[in-house]
Amino acid sequence: MSKSQLKKYLNDLSKDELEAQVLDLYQRFKPVKVFYDFVFNPREEELLRKAKLKISKEYFPDTKRKAKTRRSIAHKEIKHFKQLEVEPHLTADLMLFNIEIAQTYAEEKSNIKEAFCKSMFKSYEEAVTYMTKMGIITEFKSRLLKIADTAEAQDWPNNYRFEKVAMQFQEIP
């Protein structure tokens, strides 16, 4: 069904029928429930706190299990923030937190794999792109530069790439 067909269909429904359909969607599909719960009660700070906790447990688990360091967990949380259109500063904060916690983890480990560094660079690029698009890069400049410096200090194999990206916005006041 195309968007225009959907519009026509919705226009043909009475107000009661439309309400019934939205309620049915709310009850049947979790993403719809999550969306409406967020719209009517955003609690963005709580959402950010939970996401950060979930990401940090990937690197520093509460139990004695080995850290999994899955980038996919953070990526899923960031994607969720973008879908809900959480305030851009909070989304950017989460994106940087993901890299910073990974660097904290890497600081404690001596044999970090190149794939790990490559993955964190991809996250770094995505964060810079997002912040530039949202026009908020100046507020996060110091954290971005610190991440690049940390990659160099930890002697990551791709630290020159972090530095190259950081050079793009280093002149921004």
| 46 and 113 belong to one structural domain | yes
| 152 and 136 belong to one structural domain | yes
pLDDT at residue 142 in the model: 93
| 36 and 54 belong to one structural domain | no
d(CA 134, CA 9): 35
pLDDT at residue 52 in the model: 97
pLDDT at residue 168 in the model: 83
Q: What is the pTM of this model?
A: 0.85
**Structural domain count, the chain:** 2
| 7 and 67 belong to one structural domain | no
| 62 and 93 belong to one structural domain | yes
Q: 30-64 in b/e burial notation, b at 16+ Cβ within 10 A?
A: eeeeeeeebeeeeeeeebbeebbeebbbbbeeeee
Which pair of tokens denotes residue 27? 């009850």
Helices 114-134 and 88-108 pack at an angle, to 10 degrees, of: 160
pLDDT at residue 37 in the model: 83
Domain that holds residue 153: 42-169
| 34 and 82 belong to one structural domain | no
Instruction: Walk along the chain (173 residues) in steps of 10 and give the mean pLDDT of each run.
Output: 88 89 89 84 90 94 86 94 94 97 90 90 96 94 95 93 86 64
Q: Evaluate whether 130 touches 95 at the Cβ level (below 8 Å).
A: yes
How many residues are listed for the chain in this entry?
173
